[in-house]
Amino acid sequence: MAGGRIAAIGKGVGQASREIDARGGMASPPLVESHVHLDTTLTAGEPKWNESGTLFEGISTWALRKESLTEADVIRRATELLRWQAAQGVLFVRSHVDTTDPDLTAVRALLEVKEKMQGLVDLQLVAFPQEGILSYPRGADLLEEALRLGVDVVGGIPHYELTRDMGAESVKITFALAEKYDLPIDIHCDETDDPQSRFLEVVAAETIRSGMGHRVTASHTTAFGSYDDAYAFKLMGFLQRADLNFVANPLVNITLQGRMDTYPKRRGMTRVKELWQNGLNVSLGYDDVMDPWYSLGTGNMLQPAHMAVHVAQMTGRQEVMACYDMVTRNAARTLGLEERYGLDVGKPADFIVLDAPDAWDTLRRLATVTTVVKGGQVIVEAKPPEVRLLGEPITFQR
């Protein structure tokens, strides 16, 4: 490393001022969080718990918590979660921030957090109209105001607009704002089990029309898991033409979706394996840590990858490895970080060391991130848990 950048890679390439003993573990580019809600984090139970476990009770519970929101409150909670994530090797984060608030309190707070955390974590913010662009009073104005304040990405939530027409119209508003301010897009799209929720096709059409390609991301898209195969097959071709990114949030959607089903009960996840097989960029997010939608969690990105292996049945050798890519390289692509991300000479010296020899073993054991290096500086050192049975060490290795 030199000047905070990677100077050389390989054996015998010169003398380093500091050596890190990886003890047989692998080095990897940092973990990337491509979808989280930092404004809502660490509020579980406030002012009440989400007893039904549905997306909708999550939204109404958050609306109650929003009434008492202050900038200091958001800053404290968001900073805490970013620290948890950095401590677990997550150095790049894309967070949605609710713009359906006449005061834009969370927007102002997270813009401050972004500034304050620079140097530790790269934070991207998405203006997210939680209660709708057209269904919330002045929703479109508030969304645009957030962009003027400096939010990086334009969001949407078409499936939660009052009618199908309003949903389609809202997608067009998102694209119009993105084009006006030259910003990427990340839309909460079709987060429902309703197979009639078909806003992804509108997003694909707008992506093709605008030529925005991989500057567009469709998040959640859980209804894609409920579409019939004939429609899904046709749609997949359009998605390939559009070349947009997908983010799935398996920890959260496996619990939020399927709530109106008895049995068989749907998995409520988008077609992660098939999107990946068809060459589309898929990444994974945590979505929520201890909030009205998901009361558990620590922000460790190996957990959604581990859950994706199960929910998407990506259990083949290469498939498990692909799930690791979905919280590293693919997520970096979703965030548009290709230029500065990766273990290549000349790129910033940001990397992690895991106590596992490869990506497969990392997910099998939910390995510990033992070292985190940011800009050439060691910022985290951690020891894997030491276990002894009758005095003998147990390593969980065969």
Chain residues that interact with ligand 17E, rule: CB under 6 A: 37, 55, 130, 157, 188, 191, 252, 287-288, 293
Closest separation in Å from C-beta 189 to Fe ion? 10
User: What DSSP letter does each residue of 201-241 carry, written as one string?
Assistant: HHHHHHHHHHT-GGGEEEEE-GGGGTS-HHHHHHHHHHHHH
Q: How far is the CB of 123 from ligand 17E (least distance, A)?
A: 17
d(CA 246, CA 276) in angstroms, rounded, equals 10
Q: How far is the CB of 139 from Fe ion (least distance, A)?
A: 17
Q: State how far the Cα of 126 lies from the Cα of 94, in Å rounded to an integer.
A: 7
Binding to Fe ion in span 357-386, by CB under 5 A:
none
- Count, in order, helices (H) and strands (E) of the chain: 13, 14
Comparing CB distances to ligand 17E, the nearer of 48 and 234 is 48
Instruction: Measure the CA–CA gap between 225 and 203, rounded to whole angstroms.
Output: 17
33 makes contact, choosing from ligand 17E, Fe ion, none, with CB < 5 to 8 Å by partner type, with none
First to last CA, the chain: 35
Q: Which is nearer to ligand 17E, 55 or 90 (CB)?
A: 55
Smallest gap from residue 272 Cβ to Fe ion (A): 16
| Residue (101 or 288) nearer to ligand 17E, CB | 288
Structure tokens, 52:
């039904």
Nearer to ligand 17E among residue 276 and residue 293 (C-beta):
293
Nearer to ligand 17E, 75 or 157 (CB): 157
Q: Which of residues 159-188 bind Fe ion (CB under 5 A)?
A: none
CB-based closest residue to ligand 17E? 293
Shortest distance in whole angstroms from residue 142 CB to ligand 17E = 16
CA distance 344 to 184: 26
Sheet order of strands, 245-248 included: 31-37, 90-98, 122-128, 153-154, 185-189, 216-220, 245-248, 281-284
Nearest partner of 78 among 274, 283, 288, judged by Cα: 288
350 binds, among Fe ion, ligand 17E, none (CB under 5 to 8 A by kind): none
Q: Select from Fe ion, ligand 17E, none the partner in contact with residue 130, using the beta carbon and a kind-dependent cut-off of 5 to 8 Å.
A: ligand 17E
Nearest-approach distance from CB 188 to Fe ion, in angstroms: 6
220 Rama sector, left if φ>0, alpha if ψ -120 to 50, beta otherwise: left
Please choose which of ligand 17E, Fe ion, none residue 198 contacts, taking the beta carbon within 5 to 8 angstroms, the exact cut-off set by kind: none
Active site residues: 191
Cβ-based nearer residue to ligand 17E, 170 or 370: 170
DSSP 311-329: HTT--SHHHHHHHHHTTTH
Strand, coil or helix: what is 76? Answer: helix
Q: Which does 252 bind (CB under 5 to 8 A by kind): ligand 17E, Fe ion, none?
A: ligand 17E
Q: Which does 191 bind (CB under 5 to 8 A by kind): ligand 17E, Fe ion, none?
A: ligand 17E
Phi and psi torsions of 86, nearest 5°: -60, -40
x-marked contacts with Fe ion along 267-306 as a string, rule CB under 5 A: --------------------x-------------------
DSSP string, 161-210: SSSHHHHHHHHHHHHHHHHHHT--EEEEE--SS-TT--HHHHHHHHHHHH
Minimum CB separation from ligand 17E for residue 157, in Å?
6
With CB cut-offs between 5 and 8 Å by kind, which of ligand 17E, Fe ion, none does residue 74 bind? none
Q: Given the complex with ligand 17E, which of 222 and 371 has the nearer CB atom? A: 222
Which residues pair with residue 254 across a beta bridge?
none
- The site for Fe ion (CB under 5 A) is made up of 287
